[in-house]
Amino acid sequence: MTLTTSPLALHGGSPAVPNGAIRPSPPTTALDEAYVLRSLRSGSHAWGENCEALQREWADWNGNAHCLALTSGTAALQMALVACGLKASDEVITPAYSWTSSASCILHHHAIPVFVDVDPVHSNLDPAKIEAAITPRTRAILAVHLHGVPADMDPILAVARKHGLAVIEDACQAHGALYKGKKVGTIGDAAAFSLNQNKMLSAGEGGLFVTDDAERLERGRSLVLFGDFRPPLPESENPAYGLGYMYRYNELCAAYARAQLTRLEDSIAHARRLFAILREGLEGIPGLVLPREPEGTTENAYNFVCHVDPEAARYAGPVNFLREAVVTALRAEGVPVMVWQRRILPEMAAVAAKDAYGNGSPWREHASTVEYDPAQFPHALYHSASYFIISDLRLPNGEEVARMIVEGVRKVFGNLDRLDIDDLAKNADVSIYERGWQRHRL
């Protein structure tokens, strides 16, 4: 398929994706309305039968022994740390690139995040880099299944078992994704899922904590059910009790989640079909690197993550300038694109300053010497500067929308030589390009 060179919408041409062609996801069905209205009219809006049923139904669907429904995926991640017995000052290894919750959940527990670079192809935690980051304080590895693509869990588990570390899966974006035939969230010691509106299983907001271990379940439960009032254990056990954060879920959102769960498998299958259309239609475009599905995995088609390749595009300037110009042109074409996170986690304000709670807490009181120089994580930096996401490839949108998106992307990349890249990217953060990292081919 040849590239499209018709005039860009930026230059007065017609957008490839007309306004209104993409409809919001998920679609509201009669079943959604029936579940939510029944809950609304029940008079029980805090915790009740829908919350209890959602826990059972998600555990059954995903293959877990235990599930707790919570207010958010972030809450579920913190619960996973509590469930695995982590204490203040413990170190948790996690990828240098992810959503902020993958690090903030560690800080919420007054533990210390330790970052490892991502692999250069799929941008998940690089198992080969983990062992060098382990110290006597390390207690867990928090692996993220970023954008619905499973992390490489076998070598992660091997390192963890060798060093006696817990493994927590951040599966907030990865409902239904498979690693070597196993659903994510069933591989490590505990896991977290999100029910935020933009997730494959949407309930507006919410989270699900899962584990197969009854003791971990009870430790985790202390975080939500007023564990403050448990009797103290013998001092020799040195426990971390966990405070009650009131992370308990609610009936209305649980009812909505239950209705959405009845069609989750169909929704994932539909999104994967649309991914296939994009991959076929966009293959071979100079300057565009398409996402690859790792061997032995099945992604859930949460986000279609592309990268720009300046060398193939014959652009000699900063890679993030090219990315920002492409994103601007794609948006003008009506293509649903976004840049989800322009900074890596070591550059989060609280992390970079080593000051989450004031007075240098929690690093100061634990005499932590962990360093967060971004230059340690070149692949994460390159990813953050070069990627963009094509979103909204889900029900109720169908194959026609996917083909419109293909047309819009081919149109922009067919007109790269007509774009004033430096002007379009004038508001881009050039410091991303000036922090000492070298280009890494994807």
| Mean pLDDT taken over the chain | 92
* Interstrand relation of 207-211 and 66-70 (parallel, antiparallel or unpaired): antiparallel
Positions in the chain whose pLDDT score sits under 70: 1-2, 225-231, 233-243, 427-442
Cβ(170)–Cβ(199) below 8 Å: no
Which helix (H) or strand (E) is 381 found in, with range? helix 378-386
- The pLDDT assigned to 212 comes to 98
- The pLDDT assigned to 153 comes to 98
Both tokens of 416, joined, read 């790269």
pTM, entire model: 0.93
Q: What is the 8-class DSSP label of residue 293?
A: P
- The pLDDT assigned to 185 comes to 98
Q: What is the pLDDT of residues 26-84, one digit of tens each?
A: 999 999 999 999 999 998 899 999 999 999 999 999 999 999 999 999 999 999 999 99
Q: How far apart (Å, rounded) are the C-alpha atoms in residues 308 and 312?
A: 9
Residue with tokens 């889900």: 394
- The pLDDT assigned to 32 comes to 97
CA 334 to chain CA centroid, Å, is 24
β-bridge mates for residue 95, sequence order = 116
Q: How many CB atoms lie within 10 A of CB 233?
A: 10
- The pLDDT assigned to 436 comes to 40
Q: How far apart (Å, rounded) are the C-alpha atoms in residues 18 and 407?
A: 12
DSSP character string of 11-59: GT---SS-TT-SPPSSPP-HHHHHHHHHHHTTS--SSSHHHHHHHHHHH
Q: What is the pLDDT of residues 393-411, one digit of tens each?
A: 999 999 999 999 999 999 9
- The pLDDT assigned to 299 comes to 98
Q: Hey, what domains does the chain have and what are their CATH numbers?
A: 30-262 (3.40.640.10)
- The pLDDT assigned to 44 comes to 87
At residue 163, what is the residue type? H
Q: Give alpha helix (H) positions in 250-352.
A: 251-261, 264-282, 310-313, 319-332, 349-352
Order of all β-strands in the sheet with 66-70:
66-70, 207-211, 190-194, 166-170, 138-144, 91-95, 112-116
- The pLDDT assigned to 228 comes to 59
Three-state secondary-structure class, residue 139: strand
